[in-house]
A and B are shown apart, each in its own frame.
Chain A
Amino acid sequence: MTARANVVPLRSRAHMETPQPPVNGASDNEMTPAQYLGGLVKRIAETRDRNAFRELYTSHAPKIKAYAIKQGMIEFADELVQEVMINIWRRAGQFDPSKANASTWIFAIARNARIDFLRKRGRMSAEVQVETDYLWDLPGGDEPVEEHNRNKAADAVRDSLSILPTEQRDVIAKVYLEDKSHQRVADELDLPLGTVKSRVRLALQKLNAVLQEDLI
């Protein structure tokens, strides 16, 4: 497997990938993709709406499967997709759109399902007997942030991510999507560890302006 083959294919505008909502402009009476996705989760929670769930499944199961494969869980990818979807169905009532963005929430559920899967199979040696969801909280536990502010932060994060140079974006994507420590990313890209660390650092510095903006 070459390093190149592992590079995550990234599209320039993430939010166009979510289910096909009205339009993308997000003027006052139009929904953003995140709001649309959040609406699906809400319908699942409130009325156990299977059509909404099917729609969410159709749009997101293939992404979760892609995530599982990136993580090197090729033979368990379908299993992981099912786990994540079951968790979405069961936890839908805990999702609060005023506290978290729906695709962030789905990512966190997928992340936790992946960790859970690895922990149960003992791939991580130093195991403590405690639920994964206690170690990695799902987003949205804290006080509600005004939705407007949350959306603003979300937009800012997305914009700054989209202007990262490719090389920095690739290392960040590897850290997020491929369960890679900095060392393993270095091995795969055939780069010195220091280079990987400095790319991560540079990417973080650029994201930081956004990550730290208006913080408490």
Chain B
Amino acid sequence: MIRHHPSQELLLEYAAGTLSSGMALCVNMHLKYCPHCAEIVDRMTHVGGMLMEELEPVEVAPDSFDALMQRIDEEDMLAAEVKNTKGLDRARELLSNWIPGGWNVVSWKPQWFKIYEFLLATSEDGRERLSLQRINAGGVAPVHSHYGREVTVVLEGGFSDEQGVYQAGDFIIKDQQHKHRPRAHENEDCICLALLEAPVRLTGPVGQWIERLRNFFSPQMYNQTSRDSA
């Protein structure tokens, strides 16, 4: 049972097409698991369709249709169908664009005890990071908070922290105010899609020490104040 959904505002921005690619992926991943939000997005998209129908038309060049048909005749082909499967299969299929073999065969990079990461993409400035995270059964991440937003979509298994319990499909946003310590369920590994809008800030005693080292080595990256989420 999915209990954590993206906000209505976020779904609206998704339907309108104004989210970043990384955020859109996270929202879409949730939609693969959540028929409820998928239906809302359908209806919101419908609102977009109606608003577009209401726009004051702007004239196009009279010969533009013929030019279009000429182009179509030269390069006509059918678009590849984007297949639609359900739930976990859909999630796997969406990710197969990065990891054709699925998340079971990627080379996970150890991060901490029982914690692994597989990097999918980073932004050019390095401040946005899209990755898969794995916490092995019973594993506990170090206490941390964030400089920016962290979006997590649970793909498989589940975890809990001070604020709640999360299952496959749940969509979770944490920001600067949230200090947390994710803990995987005892009996299965937890795999999540994570979008980090700015680097994580470690807050425990050991974390603070690591944090100081980080600042020492790359002050430009970790000292900036977080980007406004808007």
Q: Which residues from chain A sit less than 8 Å from chain B, CB to CB?
A: 8-11, 14-15, 17-18, 50, 54, 57-58, 61-67, 69-70, 77-78, 81-82, 85-87, 89-91, 93-94, 100-101, 103-108, 110-112, 114-115, 119, 124-131, 133-139, 141-142, 153-154, 157-158, 161, 172-173, 175-177, 179-183, 193, 197, 200-201, 204, 207-208, 210-212, 215-216
Q: Beyond the given A86-B71, A111-B16, please list 17 additional residue pairs across the A-B interface where CB-CB is below 8 A.
A: A14-B54, A17-B54, A64-B52, A85-B68, A101-B46, A101-B49, A104-B46, A104-B49, A106-B52, A126-B21, A135-B24, A139-B45, A142-B84, A153-B43, A157-B43, A179-B17, A215-B39
* Chain A residues in 8 Å Cβ range of B47: 157, 161, 172, 176, 207
| Cα(A58)–Cα(B59), bound, Å | 10
How far, in Å, is A69 (CB) from chain B's closest CB? 6
Stretch from B119-127, B161-169, B214-222 that touches the partner: B119-127
Stretch from B6-14, B137-145, B146-154, B184-192 that touches the partner: B6-14
Assuming the A-B contacts A114-B17, A176-B16, A177-B51, are A78 and B60 also in contact, with contact meaning beta carbons closer than 8 angstroms in the complex?
A: yes
Assuming the A-B contacts A125-B125, A127-B21, A130-B98, are A66 and B16 also in contact, with contact meaning beta carbons closer than 8 angstroms in the complex?
A: no
Report whether A179 and B68 are in contact in the complex, using a CB–CB cutoff of 8 Å: no
Assuming the A-B contacts A78-B64, A114-B17, are A108 and B50 also in contact, with contact meaning beta carbons closer than 8 angstroms in the complex?
A: no
Minimal Cβ-Cβ distance residue in A for B72: A89
* Chain B residues in 8 Å Cβ range of A172: 12, 47, 51
Task: Name the interface residues of B208-229: CB closer than 8 Å to any CB of A.
Answer: 228
Assuming the A-B contacts A125-B123, A207-B47, A216-B35, are A103 and B21 also in contact, with contact meaning beta carbons closer than 8 angstroms in the complex?
A: no
* Chain A residues in 8 Å Cβ range of B12: 172, 175, 200, 204
Partner of A126, one of B15, B38, B51, B128: B128
* Chain A residues in 8 Å Cβ range of B31: 137
How many residues on chain B are close to A (CB under 8 Å)?
68
Q: Which residues from chain B sit less than 8 Å from chain A, CB to CB?
A: 8-9, 12-18, 20-22, 24-25, 28, 31, 35-36, 38-40, 42-61, 64-65, 67-69, 71-72, 76-79, 81-82, 84, 94, 97-98, 120-125, 128, 130, 228, 230
8 inter-chain pairs at a CB distance below 8 angstroms, sorted by A residue, are A11-B54, A57-B65, A65-B60, A82-B68, A126-B123, A130-B25, A175-B16, A179-B18
* Chain A residues in 8 Å Cβ range of B228: 183
Most chain A CB neighbours (cut-off 10 Å) among B52, B76, B122? B52
Report whether B21 and A124 are in contact in the complex, using a CB–CB cutoff of 8 Å: yes
Report whether A62 and B43 are in contact in the complex, using a CB–CB cutoff of 8 Å: no
